[in-house]
Amino acid sequence: MNIGKINTELIEFWNDFFKEHKPMTLDKKDMKVEHELDQYIKDVGDYASTILDLGTGSGYCILTAALLGSKMTHGLAIDPSLKAIETLNETLKNSNINTIETKVGTHVILDSYEDGSFDGVLSSNVLDVVPYETSEQMIEEIKRLLKPKGLLMLKLNFYLTEDMIKRTKAVRMAHNTYAINGVLRSHNLTTEEWVRRFNGFRLLKSATYERIENGPLDRVLLLEKIS
């Protein structure tokens, strides 16, 4: 597997995907917890003053932390997709939110941040849609950048069963890694396997979340950094 090439193709794929996303105008008073994902983001937003959203896309998680949570004074939203960040910037402007800083770039730009820079990290469907080696680097950065007792909200796609692999015509690219239409769409691990990758963390709670009505169940986890 050529990791560099796969990552470049992924960035192009997500940039195309975000061309369809339109900026929003949001108001705190209209926001409410609609499902477990919102609740888990709110948990982080009610605890952490500095929050990183890794692979923010058009900003669902960091915007939810800002609007449903009570503590955030500085959010950092990063994504390699220029289109996604442009959309998020418009939403921030339309909604008069000035606590969120945005940056176009991959997880590599986090190198320049000091250890313990954040007391909350959000990452929704990012670690499970990049090559394993890339997710290893991301996990190391999350471990380094979170303060002790910091909270991590991790959202993962549903676990792909053998039957789903056949039905979606997913093609195995590497161990536990599947592509659909030539693009990496799942590093497929059970919830327990994901939790085991976060040594030094404690699982506070986990739930499933129906992203599409009657569709397969996505997973949402809240972890605390112990040491």
Ligand X SMILES: C[S@@+](CC[C@H](N)C(=O)[O-])C[C@H]1O[C@@H](n2cnc3c(N)ncnc32)[C@H](O)[C@@H]1O
- Which chain residues interact with ligand X by CB under 6 A? 10-11, 14, 54-57, 60-61, 79-81, 84, 106-107, 124-126, 129-130, 134
Residue nearest to ligand X (CB): 57
Please state the closest distance from residue 161 (CB atom) to ligand X, in A: 20
Least Å from the CB of residue 226 to ligand X: 25
Residue type, 27: D
Of 103 and 202, which has the nearer Cβ to ligand X?
A: 103
Decide: 101 and 122 in contact? Cβ < 8 Å: no
The tokens describing 32, both together, are 């409410």
Q: Which residue's CB is nearer to ligand X, number 59 or number 150?
A: 59
130 vs 152 by CB, closer to ligand X: 130
Q: Which long-range contacts (CB under 8 A, 24 or more apart) does 140-144 make?
A: 141/54, 141/107, 141/110, 141/111, 142/54, 143/198, 143/200, 143/201, 143/225, 144/115
Separation in Å, CA 25 to CA 170, 187, 215, 219: 37, 34, 28, 28
Q: What counts of helices (H) and strands (E) characterise the chain?
A: 7, 10
Nearer to ligand X, 90 or 227 (CB): 90
Please report how close the Cβ of residue 141 comes to ligand X at its closest, in angstroms.
10
Residues making up the chain, counted from first to last: 227
* CB nearer to ligand X: pick between 11 and 179: 11
Q: How far is the CB of 133 from ligand X (least distance, A)?
A: 11
CB 227 to ligand X: min, Å: 25
CB of 160 to ligand X, least distance (A): 15
Which is nearer to ligand X, 79 or 119 (by Cβ)? Answer: 79
3-state SS assignment for residue 160 = coil
**Residue 224 beta carbon to ligand X: minimum distance, rounded to whole angstroms:** 21
Q: Both tokens of residue 23?
A: 């900026």
Structure tokens at 219: 């997973």
CA angle 195, 143, 51 (to 5 degrees): 100
| Distance, CA of 5 to CA of 19 (rounded, Å) | 22
In the bound state with ligand X, the residue whose beta carbon lies nearer, of 60 and 201, is: 60
Q: Supply φ then ψ for residue 56, to 5 degrees.
A: -65, -25
